[in-house]
Structure 1
């Protein structure tokens, strides 16, 4: 399973999530504590928003701990919204096109999880993309395909409804084909203005997701596992939830595949 971290708020140097904390994302790349595998060395990536609508992006197949360019970029780049990911491959080779985050237009997306029997579902899933989105697919992962399907289903109009429709489609397709119905999905995605995250699993064993305020900026970070030992600061996002980080702060909603009716949750995040 992969590890990731995302931030939205006043501009912040990427290193404050990626490399500086005691349990930074780079530290998690070789010593994750809340994942099935402690090592996430199959590549990494960062996507950040600045003065242009579309995000900048840097990805490579090296382990995050061994790439000096990543530490240098994280120290120099300051952004109000960014996504960072270290990969433990469950499908698709170790190549740059398979490293997260994935980008299409102004949207960026990263994922931790899996689709059971994906090799049997991949072709019918790809057939649902229009020609432009099919041509935009450069890698071989289930993650990139989920992202493009969400684009197909209206990510720009209603991001959470599009993601719910995408996951519902995968579950229905697996059932129709007589395959194992299992989606584990903890993802973050953004259009450069709002940061969204979803934690969901068919079997109620979704990969972890935590939220905490960044006191100095008034912003929030979302992470696969806490970046430090300040247990009072970190709140675990429940399975079956969506998070929306926008101008008005953080909102946690119920999330279910197939349909999405926004409803404010009662999650309290310190700050």
Structure 2
């Protein structure tokens, strides 16, 4: 699909959400944005900007011409770190993309301990100053490229252990999405048990039968799946909420829902 079919055209597109988020912690997400997509090369392409998504002419121009079969897009509301390109999601390492919605609580207090837990061989790849990027590199350290659910569980376990050692009652709030270009994993979890919203689309072929006159449903393939922080429209039956403390795995036209809980980082 063209990127604009996801970023601009839907009723509640990501660009609309950047100014008028219905379910986010912040109504306005104007501290930059990023898009990652898989094209002709092994590594995904990324485009980052510190402009608000609604105000970036280049995003509209690129999205009207670039097409891909797998797209990651993120709008940012800073939780305290600088507004700069290296702090914009999605983050990339090799073929892997990563996005995080939420925060590591009192990140300044735990940053050093968490950063020192990153594999020294991976550490030079950290370019920005966000909690989300440190989280990504912790997951890489714990084996994200081999077993994403286990790696994220160990990274979250370490974040919670570290936070509580520093007196933080609820160390993490998160929805996370990561992909290797073939499979996407999306996680919903928080230490307080009330996480950021997360939804996934339902079967497209079923929706076509329910809404035969909706042209959008006839432009995308049967195996299309969307994972979003909030629905892109109000089409009844089109979206299912991802439950609390769970991991959604999307591969091809199939999705699998699993439970998710942190595990001891050194277990």
TM-score by length of 2: 0.90
Mapped to 1, the partners of 2:80 and 2:149 lie a distance apart of 25
1:253 to 235, 258, 263: 258
Q: How many residues align?
A: 248
Native 8 Å contact 1:91 1:142 kept in 2: no
Q: Which runs of structure 2 are paired with 1:23-38 in the superposition (5 Å)?
A: 23-38=12-27
SS in 1 for 2:156: helix
Mapped to 1, the partners of 2:112 and 2:25 lie a distance apart of 28
Offset at residue 149 of structure 1 (A):
0.5
CA RMSD of aligned residues (A): 1.2
Runs of 4+ in 1 over 3 A off after TM superposition: none
Range that drifts further, 60-69 or 13-22: 13-22
1:103 to 66, 84, 92: 92
Native 8 Å contact 2:18 2:54 kept in 1: yes
- 1:129 matched to 2:133: no
TM-score by length of 1: 0.88
Structure number with higher relative contact order (C-alpha < 8 Å, ≥ 6 residues apart): 1
SS in 1 for 2:176: strand
SS in 1 for 2:133: helix
1:237: which partner in 2? 242
Mapped to 2, the partners of 1:102 and 1:231 lie a distance apart of 33
Mapped to 2, the partners of 1:58 and 1:158 lie a distance apart of 27
Mapped to 2, the partners of 1:28 and 1:36 lie a distance apart of 12
1:47: which partner in 2? 36
Structure 2: runs of 5+ lacking an equivalent: 205-216
Native 8 Å contact 1:117 1:180 kept in 2: no
Structure 1: runs of 5+ lacking an equivalent: 1-11, 260-271
